[in-house]
Amino acid sequence: MTTTAPGPTTTASMAIVPPSRVQRIGADLARSVLPVLLALITSGLIMLAMGTNPLDFFAGVWTYGITGDNWQRSLVLMAPLLIVALGLIVAFRGQLWNLGYNGQYLLGALVASGGGPVLFAVMPAWLATLIIFIAAVALGAVWSLVPAILKARYGTNEIITSLVMSFIAIGVVNLAIKGPLKDPNTPMPQTRVIPDDQLLPYIPGTEIHIGFIIALLLAVLAQFVLSRTSFGLRLDVFGASPKAARHVGINSTWMVILIFALSSGIIAFAGAIDILGQYSYQRANWNPAYGAAILPFVFLARLSPVGSIPLVAFYAVLATGGTLATQQAGLNVDFLLVIVGLILIFMTITEYIGDRRRLGQSYLPPGLRRTLTRPFARDGRTTS
């Protein structure tokens, strides 16, 4: 009997069949939705233990977050949340931890609240708005230079430096509002109020400002740039391995600076949008802390700008309706942060149980994930 030595066909037949596209989408969807469901169930059990009816709370979230005209308030809140999420996605795709989001957001808000009353008084509203947006993005980008350069040149942990720069930014913003930018006509430490007719216009027939449309367009644009352009490819390669990126000609120093500048500038832009969209002024010691709240949903979206839209919408409804629902249920408003924390915990548990050997890889962009998990030949090249 003649036997045939194992060849490429035999080896291929013995290989593990990769999951189909439908299976991958289903697995990613399950890992995105399951942590949220488990967090809601667990938070309901906590409320029961505290003597509160969870059904009343969740009914309140629905009532105050969606019914009537409340859905419009949720979409208004969604605008800055989505833009902050996009800024975080840019940094995380490059495997950089930009945790200075609070300071960057407040700096962008300060540009709008402090510069708005001056600019709107001397030039057309559209031109003043454009200048404010450009200045906010520029200030956010410049503020990120310290952690970016320290990371790029000396390998300093960007988590620490970005947090320190955030604390400094918060202090600078408060000093500016209590000092040169304070409204002299009010005893409260706040900036002057921008007239309503100078704020961002509403979408016709609604009370939703056009910042919501801008946020959606930015998400679509970011999705295209990150998945269909050479910059997106370089960003993913750099995020996977800075050493490999240097071998293919990517300047790691400038890449770190560029990623930080884009991330911080986008987050600062969210602050300007929020002031010109709904607040019209800024008070000292005010900090909505959008970044910390939206952080889990960025990872649940698998760092996808478009994929983050429904998850950010979910949190916008939870935050809008939950503020009144917690009061109605006799809970502290900080209970919403408990729900966000539970989502983060269950996200970690689900990811660990789902695939222990490739922990975290499901959050990578699909193309990059396939490259990293593709088997290697003996000469070091990936096999098809």
72-117 pLDDT per residue, tens? 999 999 999 999 999 999 999 999 999 999 999 999 999 999 999 9
Which residues is 376 bridged to in the sheet? Answer: 382
Distance, C-alpha 209 to centroid of its chain: 20
pLDDT in tens, 131-160: 999 999 999 999 999 999 999 999 999 999
Share of the chain above pLDDT 90, in %: 70
Range of the domain at 349: 53-364
Would you tell me how many other CB atoms lie within 10 Å of the CB of residue 337? 13
Within a domain: residue 201? yes
Within a domain: residue 2? no
pLDDT in tens, 39-48: 999 999 999 9
pLDDT in tens, 304-320: 999 999 999 999 999 99
Would you tell me how many other CB atoms lie within 10 Å of the CB of residue 74? 22
Total domains present in the chain: 1
SS3 label, residue 115: helix
Mean confidence (pLDDT) of the chain: 87
How far is residue 82 from each of residues 146, 176, 216, 285, measured CA to CA in Å?
25, 27, 8, 23
Residue whose C-alpha is closest to residue 284's, from 164, 132, 175: 175
Q: Where are the alpha helices (DSSP H) in 94-229?
A: 101-120, 125-143, 145-154, 158-178, 211-228
Q: What's the CA gap between 54 and 113, in Å, rounded? A: 39
Q: Which residue has the higher pLDDT, 153 or 381?
A: 153
Q: What's the CA gap between 298 and 90, in Å, rounded? A: 11
Number of residues that this document lists for the chain:
384
| CATH number for 323 | 1.10.3470
Q: What's the CA gap between 249 and 240, in Å, rounded? A: 15
Q: What's the CA gap between 144 and 85, in Å, rounded? A: 17
Within a domain: residue 112? yes
Within a domain: residue 40? no
- 355: its two tokens: 């695939």
Within a domain: residue 305? yes
Sign of CA dihedral 352, 355, 358, 362: negative
Within a domain: residue 253? yes
Contacts of 34 (CB under 8 A, 6+ apart): 346, 350
- 209: its two tokens: 């400002």
Per-residue confidence (pLDDT) for residue 3, from 0 to 100: 47
For residue 36, name the pLDDT band (cuts at 50, 70, 90): very high
- 250: its two tokens: 């990517």
For residue 207, name the pLDDT band (cuts at 50, 70, 90): very high
Residue whose C-alpha is closest to residue 241's, from 230, 229, 255: 255
Within a domain: residue 25? no
pLDDT in tens, 236-286: 889 888 877 888 888 889 999 999 999 999 999 999 999 999 999 999 999
Per-residue confidence (pLDDT) for residue 383, from 0 to 100: 45
Within a domain: residue 187? yes
